[in-house]
């Protein structure tokens, strides 16, 4: 089922396009990383999907409901967490959650249970009696997430949830998002910091100046960046000054192999670019050949490519 769908979604202010022709489709259980610099259109998109902002033209659906004709029903299906949100200074954590649970018309024993459940989910149970003003930035963000989970929404729109957090709090937030994804929630999470999203998302969109440059599964994004493997070979140094084959020898040997397009020595490691179309079985044969030639191998692996590298490659010359 399509949980989020946009069709030519556009927001214009005078001659400025904050969002231009956005087309997205997210299914149930997708964890979508919305990546782009500040001012690229991420927050505008989320506010439109949350029915807090009207587009200039285009259409958007949440759980099959139009943002134009069914906004009240959409709000029952979503949990929207803005990048900055206010808290009530004189409230305890549990009072804050109970207040919003009552706004969602959750009453009696059910309200107490749901508040306890979301506190446990975001690991804030031990802070239930603390004043919200005493919480750290990371705890405040987790409290905000607990608040939007009270009515068990099917779709979560999280705008920069890790903004301003220290490294430990960022890791905790990522783990929490993973758990929510495992529960079948459809999550759109925005960030301008790429490593935050690399490990948790199955789909990514890269937006710049209101235009969606990339929209694909994470593994498809990686394939677009690299259509052939790059191997990393590291040799063991000869022990105790004993004679052995050097990295320069290995470089020359690998450069002459029929599967190899190029080989380069970088910081003591050999980067081997395999020719396009060469299969895994074929380039795996390079290892026994190296050993047969007398090279002592410390490691032989395929170079990993991360989301940050993919972003730089795919948006080269396209972003400001």
pLDDT score at 243: 54
Domain span holding position 294? 227-304
pLDDT score at 90: 86
pLDDT score at 314: 64
Residue 107 lies in a domain: no
Mean pLDDT, range 138-145, rounded to an integer: 90
pLDDT band at residue 196, thresholds of 50, 70 and 90? Answer: low
pLDDT score at 313: 65
Tell me: do 278 and 161 sit in the same domain.
no
Distance CA 100, CA 102 (A): 5
Residue 314 lies in a domain: no
The residue behind tokens 């603390």 is 130
Q: Report which listed range, 141-150, 197-206, 305-314, is most confident.
A: 141-150
Tell me: do 159 and 298 sit in the same domain.
no
CATH of the domain at 241: 3.30.70.100
Q: How many domains does the chain have?
A: 2
Please give the C-alpha separations between residue 169 and each of 92, 136, 163, in angstroms, as whole numbers: 21, 10, 10
Tell me: do 64 and 48 sit in the same domain.
yes
Residue 125 lies in a domain: no
Tell me: do 214 and 174 sit in the same domain.
yes
Output 56 or 1, whichever has higher pLDDT: 56
pLDDT score at 310: 67
Mean pLDDT, range 215-224, rounded to an integer: 76
% residues pLDDT > 90 (the chain): 51
| E-state strands within 28-147 | 31-35, 57-62, 65-66, 78-81
Residue 270 lies in a domain: yes
φ and ψ at 217, to 5 degrees?
-60, 150
Mean pLDDT, range 9-14, rounded to an integer: 95
What is residue 296's three-state secondary structure?
coil
Tell me: do 167 and 281 sit in the same domain.
no
pLDDT score at 174: 84
pLDDT band at residue 195, thresholds of 50, 70 and 90? Answer: low
For the cut 90, the answer to whether the pLDDT of residue 13 exceeds it is: yes
Residue 210 lies in a domain: yes
- pLDDT of 251-293, one tens digit each? 999 999 999 999 998 878 899 988 887 888 888 899 999 999 9
Distance CA 31, CA 197 (A): 9
Tell me: do 243 and 211 sit in the same domain.
no
Residue 312 lies in a domain: no
Tell me: do 197 and 60 sit in the same domain.
yes
Tell me: do 199 and 53 sit in the same domain.
yes
Contact 307, 288 (CB under 8 A): no
Q: Tell me the whole-structure pTM to 2 decimals.
A: 0.76
Residue 112 lies in a domain: no
% residues pLDDT > 70 (the chain): 89
């Amino acid at each position: 089922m399509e949980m989020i769908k946009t069709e030519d979604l556009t927001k214009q202010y005078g001659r400025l396009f904050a969002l231009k022709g956005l087309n997205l489709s997210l299914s149930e259980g997708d964890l979508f990383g919305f990546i782009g610099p500040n001012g690229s259109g991420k927050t505008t998109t989320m506010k439109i999907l949350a029915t807090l902002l009207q587009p200039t033209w285009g259409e958007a659906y949440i759980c099959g409901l139009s943002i134009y004709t069914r906004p009240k029903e959409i709000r029952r299906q979503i949990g929207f967490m803005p990048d900055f949100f206010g808290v009530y200074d004189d409230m305890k954590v549990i009072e804050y959650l109970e207040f919003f649970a009552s706004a969602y018309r959750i009453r009696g024993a059910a309200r107490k249970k749901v508040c306890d459940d979301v506190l446990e989910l975001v690991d804030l149970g031990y802070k239930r009696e603390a004043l919200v003003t005493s919480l750290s930035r990371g705890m405040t963000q987790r409290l905000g997430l607990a608040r939007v989970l009270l009515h068990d929404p099917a779709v979560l729109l999280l705008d920069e949830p890790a903004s301003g957090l220290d490294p430990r709090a960022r890791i905790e937030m990522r783990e929490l998002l993973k758990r929510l994804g495992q529960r079948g929630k459809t999550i759109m999470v925005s960030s301008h910091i790429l490593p935050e999203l690399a490990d948790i998302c199955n789909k990514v969109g890269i937006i710049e100046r209101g235009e969606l440059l990339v929209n694909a599964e994470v593994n498809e994004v990686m394939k677009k960046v690299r259509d052939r493997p790059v191997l990393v070979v590291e040799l063991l140094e000869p022990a105790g000054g004993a004679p052995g084959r050097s990295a320069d020898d290995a470089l020359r040997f690998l450069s002459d192999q029929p599967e190899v397009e190029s080989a380069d020595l970088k910081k003591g490691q050999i980067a081997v670019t395999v020719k396009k179309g060469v299969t895994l079985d074929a380039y795996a044969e390079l290892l026994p050949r190296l050993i047969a030639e007398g090279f002592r191998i410390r490691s032989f692996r395929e170079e990993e490519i991360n989301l940050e590298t993919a972003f730089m490659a795919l948006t080269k010359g396209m972003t400001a």
